[in-house]
Amino acid sequence: MRALPRFGALLAAALAVAGLVALLAPSPLPARAAEGPLAGGPAPTPREVVGKLVEILARPEFEGSDEEEEGLLLVLANLLSDLVDRVKEMRRSDPVIYGTLVAWLALSLLAILGHVAWTVWRGGVAGRAGGRRGDGALDPALATRAGRDPDRMLARADAEAAAGRIAEAIPWLYLALLFRLERAGRLAFDPARTGLEYADALAPRPGDRRLWLRFLRLHDPVVFGARPCAAGTLEEMRGMATAPLPAGDAAEGEATRGAA
């Protein structure tokens, strides 16, 4: 999903570069005016421009064609070309506005390139961190119910926090709370489920669901958003993972108590 914003930013950068090149290129209008049949004549009025455009679009090549979108794109491209030509006339008629436009395009291009570089760098950092945080999901012991021990997950979280790796401790707290809910019969563990899917499974138990969603609001920005985690936030999440579970209904929910 992250590829789409990067593509949009690259496209915007390409358009900004094209705009700068077009504005800085020599204007062809004087040569056209000298050679054309309307040399020295008055500029067409907006009504005449619209009338000519309607006349062009009424031609047979635009009627009933399967390539109407391509024809429309061609018209838009010509209009854009005329607009760029008009702007380039400002190089002589109004150099202040022209210089302002060029400076604005240059600054926009630098901002876009900086954003792309920052996004790529942050994505690389998040990917490296995410590789370490995904180690818990690859633990073969989690394939058995006996291996899904909340105390063992808490011990790993404490070890990461003691080593100063606070963000790496968060996924272990996630598993600790998840396995406590599983052992209490509140839900069934499924490694393919997301946090929000577990929240949906806890819908019959509003107290458990509120606890889980509170935990996710602190968990997701750190694990999926690569945001820093303060020590106070870690303590709050550990408290949620170790506090007594809310008193629920007598129903067992969807949990499966048999050994995996």
pLDDT in tens, 126-135: 555 544 444 5
Cα distances (angstroms) measured from residue 179 to each of 76, 156, 170, 175: 59, 14, 14, 6
So where are the chain's domains? Answer: 3-34+43-126, 136-242
| pLDDT recorded at residue 217 | 94
Distance CA 115, CA 111 (A): 6
Q: What is the mean pLDDT of residues 110-115?
A: 92
- Give 260's pLDDT tier (boundaries 50, 70, 90): very low
Q: Residue 62 corresponds to which amino acid?
A: F
Query: For residue range 188-210, what is the model confidence (pLDDT) as tens digits?
Result: 999 889 999 999 999 999 999 99
Q: Where do the DSSP E strands lie in 37-191?
A: none
Picking from 143, 212, 133, 135, the residue whose alpha carbon sits closest to that of residue 165 is: 133
| pLDDT recorded at residue 133 | 46
Picking from 160, 174, 172, 133, the residue whose alpha carbon sits closest to that of residue 231 is: 160
Averaged pLDDT of the chain: 76
Distance CA 255, CA 196 (A): 17
Picking from 171, 139, 193, the residue whose alpha carbon sits closest to that of residue 237 is: 171
Distance CA 45, CA 86 (A): 15
Query: What DSSP line would sit under 187-198, residue for residue?
Result: ----TT--HHHH
- Give 53's pLDDT tier (boundaries 50, 70, 90): confident
| pLDDT recorded at residue 254 | 42
- Give 96's pLDDT tier (boundaries 50, 70, 90): confident
Torsion over CA: 3, 8, 9, 14 (sign): positive
